[in-house]
């Protein structure tokens, strides 16, 4: 039974680090980074759960997990070709918060809330208040899905859909499951990594019995993100009937080496997660300092193919506004 009692994951979410000064202090980092961090956080707030901070190396400003969440002055620099909506989300909205880009599937921006604010997030400028499908309990979006029998898969994204309470998620999932032509529910989430306590028994009690094929696409960029608690969350999702895939973003200073990408694939597969996509950076304003040149990305992917069996090599792709699918990069 789903109750309103505050649970561990909700407490951890409420206690996430949001002050750059506290983050720098926790990791014994140079206070000289603070002014730039405050400026950048004014454009896109800092948010990171303490469980994720605990996996970072104290004293190392180049730690690959820290680099993903620490606001820095490079975010304030305008870069040609970097825009607020790099993948054409707004143009593909069929209803508020419902994106219909690709044949056979739709994406529902279930919430704007996240447990962590990744500095490279392609939706860091997304107008969540205007594109809010929850304003009518998702009725407009669900009516659209009901009216298009070519839609066989619904993707829950955000923000992070697991930021919603289980009562709301169970209500939404049940409504989707009641649409006869929908066969699969896919959830895109980072919470099992940054907040593994989210995958608790209350979540599993409604998730496991869902009469749909369940796919969970997690988002891990570096092997150091996966610890024992994360592995347990993955195992619980798998035992509940979900197929687990991972998508990563190729990020300068985080995972732009063959060794780090190979370690990521090996660690994921050991945790029963299939390496799925390696994305070129979506060119969102504020994230230009993360971009890896395409020539370097191709070289890394070639080295990865030479080093690993094919099933451990994620597909190198980019998302392009208006394209009928993710585009492979050759």
What pLDDT, in 10s, does the model give residues 240-298? 999 999 999 999 999 999 999 999 999 999 999 999 999 999 999 999 999 999 999 99
Given a cut of 70, whether residue 73 has pLDDT beyond it is yes
> What is the percent of the chain with per-residue pLDDT over 90, rounded to a whole number?
90
Please state, rounded to an integer, the average pLDDT across all residues of the chain. Answer: 95
Tell me what pLDDT residue 135 has: 63
Q: How far apart are CA 166 and CA 148, in angstroms?
A: 27
| Residues 6+ away with beta carbon under 8 Å from 203 | 162, 166, 169
Task: State pLDDT tens for residues 28-50.
Answer: 999 999 999 999 999 999 999 99
Element (H, E) at 315: strand 315-318
Task: Please tell me the pTM assigned to this model.
Answer: 0.95
- Neighbouring residues of 183: CB distance < 8 A, sequence distance ≥ 6: 152, 153, 212, 213
216-243 average pLDDT score: 98
Quick: pLDDT tens for 154-165. 999 999 999 999
């Amino acid at each position: 039974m789903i109750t309103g009692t505050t649970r561990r994951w909700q407490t951890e979410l409420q206690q996430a680090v949001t002050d750059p000064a506290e983050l720098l202090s926790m990791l014994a980092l140079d206070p000289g980074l603070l002014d730039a961090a405050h400026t950048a956080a004014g454009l896109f707030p800092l948010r990171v759960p303490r469980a994720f901070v605990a996996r970072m190396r104290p004293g190392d400003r180049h730690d690959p997990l820290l680099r993903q969440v620490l606001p820095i002055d490079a975010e304030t620099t305008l870069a040609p070709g970097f825009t607020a909506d790099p993948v054409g989300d707004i143009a593909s909205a069929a209803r508020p918060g419902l994106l219909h880009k690709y044949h056979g599937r739709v994406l529902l921006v279930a919430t704007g809330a996240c447990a962590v604010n990744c500095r490279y997030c392609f939706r860091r400028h997304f107008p969540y208040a205007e594109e809010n499908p929850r304003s009518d309990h998702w009725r407009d979006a669900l009516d659209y899905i009901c009216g298009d029998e070519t839609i066989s898969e619904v993707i829950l994204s955000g923000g992070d859909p697991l930021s919603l309470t289980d009562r709301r998620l169970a209500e939404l999932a049940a409504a989707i499951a009641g649409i006869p032509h929908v066969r699969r529910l896919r959830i895109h989430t980072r919470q099992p990594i940054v907040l593994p306590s989210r995958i608790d028994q209350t979540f599993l009690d409604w998730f496991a019995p869902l009469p749909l094929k369940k796919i969970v696409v997690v988002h891990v960029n570096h092997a150091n993100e996966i610890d024992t608690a994360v592995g347990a969350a993955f195992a619980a999702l798998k035992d509940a009937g979900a197929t687990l895939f991972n998508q990563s973003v190729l990020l300068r200073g985080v995972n732009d080496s063959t060794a780090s990408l190979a370690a990521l694939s090996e660690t994921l597969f050991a945790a029963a997660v299939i390496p799925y996509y390696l994305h070129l950076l979506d060119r969102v304003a504020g994230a230009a300092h993360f971009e890896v040149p395409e020539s370097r990305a191709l070289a890394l992917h070639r080295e990865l193919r030479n080093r690993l069996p094919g099933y451990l090599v994620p597909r190198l792709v980019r998302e392009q506004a208006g394209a009928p699918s993710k585009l492979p990069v050759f």
